[in-house]
A and B are shown apart, each in its own frame.
Chain A
């Protein structure tokens, strides 16, 4: 079942923060986050595995709450290069392929 992402779209000014949420009606084993720039292929950001861990690199981090079956992606002090569509992909177990959400379009303006 396709995870639900919110918001569908967000516009930020440089330096502002944003949160993108991903929730599922099924028990989650893992959550993957990808970013896709216009006309390009999706690029991997990070994976969070069952265990409620939080991960991050640079100013992008994510959390995974397996009890609530949801993950959040945090972008702090946004830069123009953060613009793109962010997808979460959820795994229900180690034996099933990911199911991707519809994406959240993030636009960062000067």
Chain B
């Protein structure tokens, strides 16, 4: 089992560019999550999904979009990147909502 994988590991974007952060899990988990982590601020939930075709906003969804067409994949789309989106992004999955979350290795994104 690879667990939760994320690509890319690092990325530098220019203001206004778009990109998709990829997340895949091979544990057949229903729940998947996207978090951003800024220094000293903890983990903030961007979006989450309870299963294929179902997504919901978290605490900080503005500027992001998600889709969940399969159980395995949960990509995060950034449209019109802004410097405020410079952060480390973690994808996670869990079998049910109130259970252990397994995190991917993270993507470090810088917007200049």
Contact = CB atoms under 8 A, between A and B. Distances in A.
Interface string A70-95: 00000000000000000101010011
Nearest to A49: B98
B43 A97 contact: no
Interface residues of A, number: 25
A102 B41 contact: yes
- The bracket for how many chain B residues form the interface is 20 to 34
B45 A42 contact: no
Contact of A29 (B90, B98, B103, B105): B98
Nearest to A85: B42
Given A97-B48, A97-B58, A42 B97 contact: no
B40 interface: yes
Given A30-B98, A94-B98, A41 B42 contact: no
Contacts of B85: none
B64 interface: no
A42 B99 contact: no
B42 A2 contact: yes
B33 interface: yes
Contact of A42 (B43, B48, B59): B43
B103 A94 contact: no
A43 B40 contact: no
A97 B97 contact: yes
A47 interface: yes
B97 A95 contact: yes
Interface in B65-112: 90, 97-106
Contacts of B97: 91, 94-97
B99 A41 contact: no
Interface string A44-82: 100101000000000000000000000000000000000
Interface of A: 2, 29-30, 32, 34, 40-44, 47, 49, 87, 89, 91, 94-103
16 contacts: A34-B101, A40-B105, A41-B90, A41-B103, A41-B104, A42-B101, A43-B103, A44-B102, A87-B43, A94-B98, A95-B97, A96-B97, A97-B97, A98-B45, A100-B43, A101-B42
